[in-house]
Amino acid sequence: MINPDLLRQELQEKISLVSSLEELNQLKASVLGRKGQLTQYLRSLGELPLEQRKILGAQLNSLKVELESFFLARERELEEARIRESLEKGRVDVTLPGIRPPLGRRHPLLQVWEEIEDAFLSLGFDIYEGPEVEWEYYNFGALNIPPDHPARDMWDTFYITDKMLLRTHTSPDQIRCMEEQRPPIKAIMPGLVYRHEAVDATHMDVFVQIEGLVVDKDTTFADLKGTLELFVSLIFGPGRKTMFVPSYFPFTEPSAELLILWDDEKGHNAAGGKWLEVLGCGQVHPQVLRNVGLDPQVYSGFAFGLGVERIAMLKYNIPEIRLFMENDLRFLEQFG
Ligand code: PHE
């Protein structure tokens, strides 16, 4: 004898235990399908006596309706669970920190180079650039450097041919500049220069110079000093200790060097109270003016050539010039 209540209980339990849609469909087919358990029962009702058939038939039919809604409810549950699971799996945690590619930055030397250019631009200078491979004439002859001058020695100069060399300073750009434009001239000329010399903590065989040239009708040595003092205060702030000392260059007369005291803002010496030479300068030699066809009776001027590495060393208290060329990230990363 079929007991519909027991059957309901048993099937309800089975339905609730099913854990996937596939299993649920199988179970559904085995109960309500064409050859399913309940379908069979309904079919066999015909064999029962009328009274019994009426009662059991009604019970089984309402069980069928109930079971259909149980299956449907469970199907929805499983469907939802599946969606939840796949959302969970594909979820992106937007709060996780991303992978940061390492950020590049300007080389400290370029930063200082640019700062120096900006300082001179703010003082009304133009920028002019000449070649690194230079004629001997521009590097030496036109600058009043005679053939027997020690700077021409094989040990100071990288020669390419008899007449061609790697410029040893940016001063040849003075000549190029004056050949190309007439006074008034007020320009800086930055670039790499090369010297065949022993490398040590303050010397390298390639370094950056910035040449300056002012030519007009009545420039004086006071203009030169004033311009350079203003420049130092723009780069280092006010109060940096400087000193002009007499010097000699064949292409300036009189000539001087500017020294800056090597200590930091708090007055601490990085190099034991050493004065570092940062530039050579002077009033343009009359012969240099004549070499470019300018009359020294009418025109005068001043020039300077500064070492960018040295300015950077003083500014950031770096006692070793070679650090600029070594590409050591521990060094470079300190300069944001
Ligand atoms: N050219 C000189 C040097 O390399 C520096 C300098 C430039 C001096 C201009 C006077 C005038 O040392």
Pocket test for ligand 1, best of 249, 253, 276, 304 (most atoms within 8 A of CB): 249
Q: 149 with 28, same domain?
A: no
What residue's CA is closest to ligand 1, atom 12?
280
- Number of structural domains in the chain: 2
In a domain, 277, yes or no: yes
Q: What is the CATH number of the domain that holds 170?
A: 3.30.930.10
In a domain, 94, yes or no: no
In a domain, 101, yes or no: no
Q: 144 with 32, same domain?
A: no
Answer yes or no: is pLDDT of 50 > 90: no
Range of the domain at 42: 4-89
Residue 209 alpha carbon, nearest atom of ligand 1: 4
pLDDT one-digit tens code per residue, 139-157: 999 999 988 887 787 668 9
pLDDT one-digit tens code per residue, 161-172: 999 999 999 999
| Span from the CA of 319 to the centroid of ligand 1 (angstroms) | 23
pLDDT one-digit tens code per residue, 239-289: 888 999 999 999 999 999 999 998 755 555 555 678 889 999 999 999 999
pTM: 0.71
Q: 177 with 288, same domain?
A: yes
Task: Identify whether the C-beta of residue 169 lies closer than 8 Å to the C-beta of residue 149.
Answer: no
Q: 85 with 208, same domain?
A: no
Type of residue at 26: Q
Q: 74 with 153, same domain?
A: no
Domain final position from 26, 60, 89:
89
pLDDT one-digit tens code per residue, 102-148: 888 889 999 999 999 999 999 999 999 999 999 999 999 999 998 88
Q: 192 with 260, same domain?
A: yes
Q: 171 with 272, same domain?
A: yes
Q: 16 with 156, same domain?
A: no
Domain final position from 89, 119, 134:
89
Determine if ligand 1 sits within 6 Å of the CB of residue 194: no
Answer yes or no: is pLDDT of 62 > 80: yes
Mean pLDDT of 48-69: 90
Mean pLDDT of 320-334: 89
Q: 239 with 313, same domain?
A: yes
Determine if ligand 1 sits within 6 Å of the CB of residue 252: yes
| Span from the CA of 245 to the centroid of ligand 1 (angstroms) | 14
Q: 163 with 35, same domain?
A: no
In a domain, 52, yes or no: yes
Answer yes or no: is pLDDT of 33 > 70: yes
Measured between alpha carbons, how far is 230 from 112 in angstroms, rounded to an integer? 16
Give me the residues paired with residue 269 across strands.
Answer: 263
**Predicted local confidence at residue 3, as pLDDT:** 87
| Span from the CA of 307 to the centroid of ligand 1 (angstroms) | 10
**Predicted local confidence at residue 135, as pLDDT:** 97
pLDDT band per the 50, 70, 90 thresholds, residue 173: very high
Q: What mean pLDDT value characterizes the chain?
A: 91
In a domain, 14, yes or no: yes
Answer yes or no: is pLDDT of 206 > 80: yes
